[in-house]
Structure 1
């Protein structure tokens, strides 16, 4: 006679010990199922992935402040170098960009009232040079050529822009004829050509008497563009160009 256990195993009826043996087997099977529940079988396509994660640590450092080079606290603007809140030094050549740089400089340092002209060799754009000169005059800035300073060619017109024009007795001024983009010099144009009025009107605008301006203009144009005529501070004073 069999005994009912809640298992699906039926003992062998022909074995005298079947009932006891079947009972023990069934008991062990039941215990095994309780302790080790059935796991779903892995299909042929199943696999196990092991992923290794590495952790990196970084230190975030703020950039160090860059030290200002000596003497550059105020900055450079083309040929201009600001050395004090009211003073700039000028060295080099005026080109097409110089008026815009001057305007930017005056925006940053509106208190500038003096230009020290150290070594100024003229311009490669005369229109820009005269525009810059008028900007200097409109800003109420004075011009000065210190000892050993040299003002040459178109820079002489720039010097005249100062509301007050001063120069050391050892200052140097160099003049010669202008030349246009076609290689023609002042004396290649007729005396009544409007091109001359551009300069004569500028001298008058800067306060140089008309007669003196004409005399000075004739002197500069007597020297070919490829040559130089050196003038002293006293020479410039004779033409009423130094205060």
Structure 2
């Protein structure tokens, strides 16, 4: 495990999608990053020194299935990092609570296993489950892939997202591989499966890689809505 301190101020990022160039303010964060056993693995755990608001709402109580908590007959919450066990835990939750149709993304720090995380995202989509980030909800790193998996996606004003590039166990990042390499294609293919066009998928992937693994690019529901369709009030 490596620990990084990323001091992020006002950064102007170039547009890689339908967005015009803009200035985005980032908060100073401490970043703890894990390395894993295969290419394209990533995780980002962020703790705020001076958060502009309480990002993580109180962790809800309810039957636990790994990082998931059952809220009621129709809803579950995602409140922790995912790992290699998460797809099986998700399947067990749906077996026991088959009427779940929505996941509240309360505090989603990332993943310890990207390949399992992408499988989990496909399961969410296959079951037609919606994803919702409430005001104060925090979705980072691999959690963003799970948000995109929602058959319907909702993000309230005050929801926050963070993305960054991945790093594999050899210290290589996306730009160290050919664009057509499996380490890069798996994400673009996933975004296309979640409904993006080829151009949108490549642009979104480029945006997630616009900062290195040890940093983070933060944005809110408004910007997420320029990348994918959001539904409902408060977007």
TM-score w.r.t. structure 2 length? 0.70
Q: Which residue of 2 aligns with 1:201?
A: 189
Q: Is the 8 A contact 1:177 1:185 kept in 2?
A: yes
Higher Cα Rg: structure 1 or 2?
1
TM-superposed CA distance for 1:179, in Å, is 1.4
Specify the alignment match of 2:145 in structure 1: 157
Q: 2:157 aligns with which of 164, 169, 173?
A: 169
- Structure showing greater relative contact order (alpha-carbon pairs closer than 8 Å, 6 or more residues apart): 2
Residue 104 of structure 1: aligned partner: 92
Gaps of 5+ in 2: 1-59
Aligned length: 172
DSSP-derived class of the 1:230 partner: strand
Partner of 2:79: 91
- Equivalent residue, structure 1, for 2:21: none
SS of the residue 1:92 aligns to: coil
More strand by share: 2
Which residue of 190, 201, 211 corresponds with 2:199?
211
1:22-171 correspondence runs (5 A): 74-171=62-159
Task: Report the Cα offset of residue 196 of structure 1.
Answer: 1.5
Mapped contact 2:179–2:185 kept (Cα < 8 A)? no
Counterpart pick for 2:210 among 222, 232, 241: 222
TM-score by length of 1: 0.68
Structure with the higher fraction of residues in helix conformation: 1
Q: Does 1:182 align with 2:170?
A: yes
Which 4+ runs in 1 deviate beyond 3 A? none
Superposed CA RMSD in Å reads: 1.3
